[in-house]
Amino acid sequence: MKLNAQFLLSAFAPEHFPTQARTGGAPEVAFLGRSNVGKSSLINALLGAGMAKVSSTPGRTRSINFFGLYPVSSSGQQKSLPALVFADLPGYGYAKISKSIAAEWSGFIDPYLTDREQLALCCCLVDTNIPPQPSDTQLMDFLRHEQRPFVVIGTKSDRLSNNTLAKSIAALKREHGVDEVIAVSVEKGKSDKGLRALWERLESVIPA
């Protein structure tokens, strides 16, 4: 299926979340993880450069940013409703701004993860360059409790040798209690095997 990506809106409160009229109730995929882990970069790699704002300053994404993925017919016509919606979420776990982030989480991110009916899959991004983080374990425990399906994605894999990456992935699987961690890199010229595996998983949430 050919999909055309379009920015929908930035939400700072639950009442801003895209309406049924806007999305037709399309399934949503949320991108979650600590500040600077590479959420916005991954969305750009999946949807095309420039979609989401990337920054070297942690804590850049402060709103939930929604993107619609619209099917395009063989004649090139774009459908009026998206088949899938991506949600780029603010990061957590960055000490300097953790207080304001904590307030945001209880204000509108928590409600999004708890109540959003369309939310079909959570992508939990973890950095393969650092040891497993308690804040990530905490998020996954929360998602398990909420019975939200999630997939764990290991970012910035280009910075590690194959051997070190394999060890890191093994540690992440063990610590987070998951069978699979999809290793990805958004660096040009690096293998896009992980990105392709991820796309397959994402497309699987679109109803046939």
Ligand X SMILES: Nc1nc2c(ncn2[C@@H]2O[C@H](COP(=O)(O)OP(=O)(O)OP(=O)(O)O)[C@@H](O)[C@H]2O)c(=O)[nH]1
Binding site for ligand X (CB under 6 A): 33, 35-41, 54-56, 58-61, 90-91, 155-156, 158-159, 185-187
φ, ψ of residue 179 in degrees (nearest 5): -85, -20
Interacting span for Mg ion (CB under 5 A) from 7-15, 57-65, 121-129, 187-195: 57-65
Q: How far apart are CA 119 and CA 107, in angstroms?
A: 18
> Whose Cβ is closer to ligand X: residue 57's or residue 75's?
57
Least separation, in Å, of the C-beta of 31 and ligand X? 8
Least separation, in Å, of the C-beta of 132 and Mg ion? 21
Least separation, in Å, of the C-beta of 173 and ligand X? 19
Least separation, in Å, of the C-beta of 85 and ligand X? 17
Q: Which of 159, 199, 200, 198 is nearest to 181 (CA)?
A: 198
Q: How far apart are CA 85 and CA 27, in angstroms?
A: 6
Residue 59 interacts, among Mg ion, ligand X, none and using kind-specific CB cut-offs from 5 to 8 Å, with: ligand X
Bridge partner residues of 123 (DSSP): 31, 151
> Whose Cβ is closer to ligand X: residue 84's or residue 109's?
109
φ, ψ of residue 105 in degrees (nearest 5): -60, -45
> Whose Cβ is closer to ligand X: residue 83's or residue 198's?
198
Residue 176 interacts, among ligand X, Mg ion, none and using kind-specific CB cut-offs from 5 to 8 Å, with: none
Contact call for residue 157 and Mg ion (CB under 5 A) = no
Least separation, in Å, of the C-beta of 1 and ligand X? 25
Candidates 23, 36, 44, 61; binder of Mg ion (CB under 5 A) is 61
> Whose Cβ is closer to ligand X: residue 68's or residue 93's?
93
Contact call for residue 155 and Mg ion (CB under 5 A) = no
Which residues of the chain form contacts with Mg ion (CB under 5 A)? Answer: 39-40, 61
